[in-house]
Structure 1
Amino acid sequence: MTTLLEARYRTVLRLLPAYYRREREEEMVETYVGDLDRDTQDQSRPTLGEVASIAALAVRSRLGAAGAPRPYVLLGSGARLFALAAVLLLAASAVVEPILQLTWSLTRGGAQRRLFLSEFTGHGPLADTVAVAQWVLPLGWTAAYFGLLYGRRRLARTGVLVAALPTLWPLVSSLTGATPIVEPAFVVTLALLAWLPALALCAAHHRDAPAARLPAGTPGVVFMAACVVTGASLVLLPAAADLVWGPANCFVVGALGWLLWTVRRGEPVAPGGALALAVLGLLLLAVRVSAVYPWLGLPEAAGYLGGDLVQAAALALLIVVLAVAGCRELAAR
Structure 2
Amino acid sequence: MNEVNELLEQRYRTVLRLLPRSYRAEREEEMVAAFMEGGEVSDEDNPRPGWGEIASVLALSTRVRLGGAGAIPRFVVWGAAVRLVATLGLAFHAAAGAFTLTSLAFAAPGSMTQPLGVLAAALWVPAFVLMMRGHVRTAKPVALAAGAAALAELAAWQIAGGLFVPLDVVSPVLNVVVPLAALFAGFHGDVPPVRRAWPPTLLPLAAGLVLRAVVLALLAPALGKVPLLWPWLDLMGLASVVLVVAGIVCLGRRLPPYVPLALAILGTLMLPSRLSVVDNSYLSSGLDVLWASSVGQCVALVVMVVLLAVAGFRGLPAVRRGQATA
For residues 8 and 234 of structure 1, do their structure 2 counterparts lie closer, same or farther at Cα, with a shift above 3 Å needed? farther
Counterpart Cα distance in 2 of 1:243 and 1:136: 26
Aligned counterpart, 1:122: none
Aligned residue among 242, 250, 270 for 2:239: 250
Aligned partner letter, 2:173 = A
* Runs of 5+ unmatched residues, structure 1: 106-111, 120-130
1:93/1:247 contact within 8 Å kept: no
Aligned residue among 170, 183, 188 for 2:165: 183
Aligned partner letter, 1:152 = H
Aligned counterpart, 1:219: 200
Q: Partner of 1:283: helix, strand, or coil?
A: helix
2:167/2:276 contact within 8 Å kept: yes
For residues 28 and 219 of structure 1, do their structure 2 counterparts lie closer, same or farther at Cα, with a shift above 3 Å needed? same
Displacement after TM superposition at 1:278 (Å) = 1.4
Asked if 1:17 is matched to 2:15, the reply is no
For residues 163 and 307 of structure 1, do their structure 2 counterparts lie closer, same or farther at Cα, with a shift above 3 Å needed? farther
Q: Normalising by structure 2, report the TM-score.
A: 0.79
For residues 262 and 103 of structure 1, do their structure 2 counterparts lie closer, same or farther at Cα, with a shift above 3 Å needed? same
Matches within 5 A, 1:1-16: 1=3, 2-16=5-19
Aligned residue among 54, 73, 76 for 2:76: 73
What fraction of aligned residue pairs are identical, expressed as a percent? 33
Q: Which segment drifts farther, 59-68 or 44-53?
A: 44-53
Aligned partner letter, 2:146 = A
For residues 242 and 317 of structure 1, do their structure 2 counterparts lie closer, same or farther at Cα, with a shift above 3 Å needed? closer
1:87/1:145 contact within 8 Å kept: yes
Counterpart Cα distance in 1 of 2:81 and 2:302: 20
Aligned residue among 44, 50, 62 for 2:47: 44
Aligned partner letter, 1:53 = S
Aligned partner letter, 2:280 = P
Counterpart Cα distance in 1 of 2:215 and 2:303: 19
Aligned partner letter, 1:220 = T
Q: CA RMSD in A?
A: 3.4
Counterpart Cα distance in 2 of 1:182 and 1:301: 24
Aligned counterpart, 2:61: 58
Q: Deviation string for 1:173-215 (max 9, x for gaps)?
A: 599x66523423211221111101111111111111254577x
Aligned counterpart, 2:181: 199
Asked if 1:103 is matched to 2:105, the reply is yes
Counterpart Cα distance in 2 of 1:97 and 1:173: 18
* Runs of 5+ unmatched residues, structure 2: 224-228, 320-326
Matches within 5 A, 1:26-45: 26-39=29-42, 42-45=45-48
Matches within 5 A, 1:1-333: 1=3, 2-39=5-42, 42-100=45-103, 102-105=104-107, 112-116=108-112, 119=113, 131-169=114-152, 172=155, 180-212=162-194, 218-227=199-208, 230-231=211-212, 234-238=216-220, 239=223, 245-253=234-242, 256-257=245-246, 259-260=248-249, 263=252, 266-268=253-255, 270-299=256-285, 308-309=294-295, 311-330=297-316
Aligned length: 308
1:62/1:75 contact within 8 Å kept: yes
Aligned partner letter, 1:147 = L
Aligned partner letter, 1:186 = D
For residues 139 and 280 of structure 1, do their structure 2 counterparts lie closer, same or farther at Cα, with a shift above 3 Å needed? same
Counterpart Cα distance in 1 of 2:62 and 2:69: 13
Aligned partner letter, 1:281 = G
Displacement after TM superposition at 1:93 (Å) = 0.7
Q: Deviation string for 1:199-254 (max 9, x for gaps)?
A: 1111111111254577x983334324532564355444554668992244135335
Q: Normalising by structure 1, report the TM-score.
A: 0.78
